[in-house]
Every structure is written in C-alpha cells, then in structure tokens.
Structure 1
Amino acid sequence: MLEFRQVHKSYSTPQGPQYVLSGVDLRLAAGESLALMGESGSGKSTLLHLAAGLDLPERGEVLIGGTSLAGLSETGRATLRRHTLGLVFQQFHLIPSLNVADNLLLQARLAGREDSRWTARLLERLGLVKHQHYYPEQLSGGLQQRLAIGRALAPRPALLLADEPTGNLDETTADTVLGLLLELVAESGSSLLMVTHSPRVAAPLDACLILHHGRLLPERPTP
C-alpha cells in the first residue's frame, strides 16, 4: 500500500543542509498497521508528510498503491489524497461552522463515497450520536479527537496516516480513543501508519519502526 525506496530529505539552514531522512526504505502492506517512533526532531512528521504527498523527497521514491507520487502533479497528489488517504494530525482542523455530523461527512463527500450506514456506525462507535448536532467548540478535546478520526475514516481510505493521534489526551482517554481507532481501521480495511512517541501506544500495532539519525531501525520498543 505504501512504499519508500531509498528516500532522502534535507532542509536548508544557515549552517548548511540539515539531513532528516537518509536512504529510508519502508513497506506497508494493505491492511497492516505500523507505528513510527523516534526522538523529537528525528523526522517522523517529515516522513508522514512525504507519505501524504504534501512534500516530495530530494532523492528516492514514495509510492502509494504502486503509484509514484513524484510522477503526479500537485493537483494529482491532491486528488490521490482525497480518494485514497485519511489524515489525522495533532491539530484537528475541524470546520467550526459545521456541526459534528457534517464535519464527519466532509471527507466522504469530497471523495464521492458517502455511506449512510458506515456514517451511522462511526457516530455510534465514537460516542458522537448525541453530539451530532453540536459544533466543534462545544466538544471536549477527547470528543474533537474522535471526530477527527471519524472524518478521516468516513470515506474508508485505503491508507490512514496519523500524527500523534492521542498526544493531546490524558492516558485514560488516549487508551479509549486508540482502541476505537484500531477497531475502526480494522473494520474499514485501511492500512495505518501512525507516528507516536509512546511505546505503550505503539504496542498494539502490527509492527514498529524507530527513526534514528535519518534511518529506520526495525525494532519494537518494550512498553
């Protein structure tokens, strides 16, 4: 579903280029879940942005479903994101003028894949049924995070990319939200690439890689 082939990425600084990714190889099969860990500033978010086609590598290749992102125009990458990817970032990016139900449906409508039964299932499983006519500002942080996850999963994306999806939550709420995320990912049949700093959060996923000095180490941390 997702493949990195010898991907390199650096950023310009006053001191010269800062290399973030150095020859990264990664493979994520359909239906698999993968946690990506690493110390702050190790390039985890950069890797996620490359996977989403929000940025391009200097060298190497990123493929989604066998399609090279470098071979697509910016419009082509945006279309691929709309139809193939679900994105959950630390900032929820909910639309304040839309209620919960319409926020949830936004991505599915953009992708042309609105499914009333799946939407009802998401509202139920995420505990949002009684809040569906509320607006984002009326929700707690935990409910906003659930809504962001539901919106990303509403079109049943082939690949879900999540950047610290429980990082802003207390431990109990985080465990609940993570459990719901993994259950709904399994139900939707999506692949999952999740950035996290927590070994406890990474533990339930199928595999874990650690980004260290620009390279991926195939290790599963001990909770």
Structure 2
Amino acid sequence: MLQFHQVHKAYATPQGPLPVLRGIDLRLAPGESLALMGESGSGKSTLLHLAAGLDLPDSGEVCLAGRSLSALTEPARAHLRRDTLGLVFQQFHLVPSLNVGDNLRLQARLAGRDDPAWSSELLERLGLAGLERRYPEQLSGGQQQRLAIGRALAPRPALLLADEPTGNLDEETADEVLTLLLALVRDTGSALLVVTHSPRVAAPLDRCLRLSHGRVDDAAITGAT
C-alpha cells in the first residue's frame, strides 16, 4: 500500500540545505497498522507529507498503491489522494459552516463514494447520532476528533494517515478515541500510519518504527504489544 525506497529530503536554509530524511526505507502492507515515533524535528511530519503526496522527495521513491508519486503531476497526486487516502490531523480541520452530518460525509461525497447507510453507522459508533444538525463549535474536543475520524473513514480509504490524532485530548478521552479509531480501521480494512510521540498510542498497533535524526532506528522497530 505504501513504500519508501531510499528517500532523502532536505529543506533550504540561509546556512545551506538542512537534511530531514536520510535514506528512509519503509513498507506498509494493506490492512497493516504502523506507528511512527520520534522526537520533534526527527522528520515524522515530513515523512507523512511525502506519504500523502503533499511534498516530493529530493531523491528515492515513494509509492502509494503501487504508483510512484514523483512520476505523477500535482493534479494526478490530488486525484490519488482523494481516491486512496483518509487524513486525520491533531487540529481537527472541520468545516465550521457545515453541520456534523455534512462534515462527516464531505470527503465521501468528494470521492464519489457517499454511502448514507455507512455514514449512519459511523455516526452511531462515533457517539454522534442525534447530533447531525449541530455545528463543530457546539461539540466537545473529543466529539470533534471523533467526527474528524469519521469524515476520513466515510469513503472507506485504502490508507489512513493520522498525525498525532489524540494529541489535543485528555488521557481518558484519547484512549476512547484511539480504541474507536482502531476498531473502525479494522472494519474498513484500511492500512494505518500514525505519527505520534506517545508509546501509549503506539502500543496497540501492529508495528512501531522510530525516526532519529532523519533515519530509521532499526533497534526500535517492534511488534505490537
């Protein structure tokens, strides 16, 4: 589903190029879950942006669903994102002018895969049934994050990318949201890549990979606990 092969990425600074990723190799199979851990500045967010085709590597290859992202035009990458990916961010990025029901179905409608029955099931399982006419500002933080997860999963994406998906929540709410996220991912068959600094979030996933100074720390690749 997702493959990195000897991926390098640097950013320009007044002092010269700043290497962020240094020869990353990574494979994520369909239906597999992977936690990506590392300190701030280790390259986690850069890797996630490359996986989504929001940026391109300086060298090496990133393949999504068997297609090399560097070989595609930006419109083609956007089309592939729409058809293949679900994205969940630490900041919820809900549309304030849309109610809960419309926010949930937005991504599915854009992808041409709106399924009212699945949307209703998501609302029920997310604990949002009966709140369809409310707006994001009328929801708690945990409810907003659950809605963001539902929006990402409504099109049944082949791959879900999540950037610190529980980072803004208290521990109890974070545990509830993570349990729900993993259950829904299993039911949809999506592969899952989670960027997190929390061992608590990483523990239930199939594998954990740690980035350090832009490289994979092989000693820190573990199975699920």
In structure 1, C-alpha distance between the alignment counterparts of 2:128 and 2:37, rounded to whole Å: 30
TM-score of the pair, normalised by structure 1: 0.98
In structure 2, C-alpha distance between the alignment counterparts of 1:178 and 1:118, rounded to whole Å: 20
1:75-116 residue CA offsets vs partner (Å, 9 max, x unmatched): 000001111000011121111111000000000000000112
Cα distance 1:158–1:12, how it changes in 2: closer, same or farther (>3 A)? Answer: same
Alignment of 1:126-205 (within 5 A): 126-205=126-205
RMSD between aligned residues: 1.3
Contact 1:105–1:114, Cα closer than 8 Å, also in 2: yes
TM-score of the pair, normalised by structure 2: 0.97
Alpha-carbon shift at residue 15 of structure 1 (Å): 1.7
Cα distance 1:165–1:9, how it changes in 2: closer, same or farther (>3 A)? Answer: same
Larger displacement relative to structure 2 (44-53 or 212-221): 212-221
Contact 2:166–2:178, Cα closer than 8 Å, also in 1: yes
Contact 2:208–2:224, Cα closer than 8 Å, also in 1: no
In structure 2, C-alpha distance between the alignment counterparts of 1:121 and 1:216, rounded to whole Å: 39
Moved over 4 A (4+): none
In structure 2, C-alpha distance between the alignment counterparts of 1:89 and 1:222, rounded to whole Å: 23
In structure 1, C-alpha distance between the alignment counterparts of 2:65 and 2:223, rounded to whole Å: 28
Q: Which runs of 5+ in 2 are unaligned?
A: none
Alpha-carbon shift at residue 221 of structure 1 (Å): 9.3
Q: Look up the match of 1:48.
A: 48
1:174-208 residue CA offsets vs partner (Å, 9 max, x unmatched): 00000000000000110000000000110000000
Give the AA of the match of 1:111: A
In structure 1, C-alpha distance between the alignment counterparts of 2:83 and 2:223, rounded to whole Å: 33
In structure 1, C-alpha distance between the alignment counterparts of 2:2 and 2:163, rounded to whole Å: 16
In structure 1, C-alpha distance between the alignment counterparts of 2:161 and 2:216, rounded to whole Å: 17
Q: How many residues align?
A: 223
SS in 2 for 1:113: coil
1:58 aligns with 2:58: yes
1:131-173 residue CA offsets vs partner (Å, 9 max, x unmatched): 1110001111111100000000000000000000000000000
1:211 aligns with 2:208: no
Alpha-carbon shift at residue 217 of structure 1 (Å): 2.1
Taking only the aligned residue pairs, the percentage that are identical comes to 74
